[in-house]
Amino acid sequence: MVPGLLAWIAAMCGCALTPALRPEGRQPEKVPVTAETHPVCQVEAPRIFTDRPGAIYRNPRIGVVYLRAHQDAEGRLLGPQVMYQVVDPGGWDIKALESGNGYLPAINVQSPSVPEDEPLLDPDAARAITITGLMSPEDRPEAEAMARRAGGARSAVYDKQAGWLLIPTRKP
C-alpha cells in the first residue's frame, strides 16, 4: 500500500518524471511565489548617553574645622573648638532630571523602618478586637449598641474593608 501511495505522490507532483512520462501529458501549473515580511514589534533603539548620569538631588556638604586650644592676640585662651561651614548648599539638578538620565542617590531614598522581629499589632490587642459583621457606615447605631452590650471600654470603629469593629480603648 505504501509503495503505491508513494508512486501516486510522485506522479502527481512530478518528482523525477520527465514531461513526456507524466500521466495524461499534463504540464504543471505555474504558481506565483511571493514572500512578505511583517515585523513582530517595533523595538526602540537603546538610548546611548553621551555624558555620565547625574544625581537629580545633591546633598548639602558641610565642612568641619577643628581648632586646637590657642591664645589670641589679646591674651585670651580660646578653644578647642569645632566650626562648621556650608561648602555646598546642595539642591536639585533640573538638567539631569530633564535629560532623562538622572537618578536619585540611594542615600536619599528612605525605606520605612519597621522592626522585622516585632508584629505590627500586639497579638493580645488583636485578640480583643471583635468583628461585628456590619459592613455599612449607616450601621453605626447598631455597632455602638453592640459595643455597649460587650461591656468594658470598647469603641465601635468603621473600616472600609473590614466593616464595623469593636476595639478596646486604651487607658492613659
Section 146-165 average pLDDT: 85
Q: For residue 172, is pLDDT > 50?
A: no
Tell me the one-letter amino acid at 94: I
C-alpha cell at 80: 578647642
> Rounded CA gap, 134 and 157, in Å?
11
Exposure letters 36-65 (e unless 16+ CB within 10 A, then b): eeeeeeeeeeeeeeeeeeebbbbeeeeeee
C-alpha cell at 54: 547625574
Q: Which one-letter DSSP state was computed for residue 21?
A: G
**144 CB neighbour count, 10 Å cutoff:** 15
> Rounded CA gap, 48 and 51, in Å?
9
* Residue pLDDT, tens place only, 91-144: 888 887 787 777 777 777 776 666 666 666 777 778 888 888 898 999 999 998
Q: What does the pLDDT read at residue 116?
A: 67
Q: What is the pTM of this model?
A: 0.32
> Rounded CA gap, 86 and 81, in Å?
17
* Residue pLDDT, tens place only, 39-94: 666 667 766 656 667 778 888 999 998 888 989 899 999 888 888 999 999 888 88
Q: What does the pLDDT read at residue 21?
A: 54
Hey, which residues does 73 pair with through a beta bridge? none
Q: What does the pLDDT read at residue 126?
A: 80
Q: What are the residues whose beta carbons fall under 8 Å from the beta carbon of 116, sequence distance 6 or more?
A: none
Q: Are the beta carbons of 144 and 137 closer than 8 angstroms?
A: no
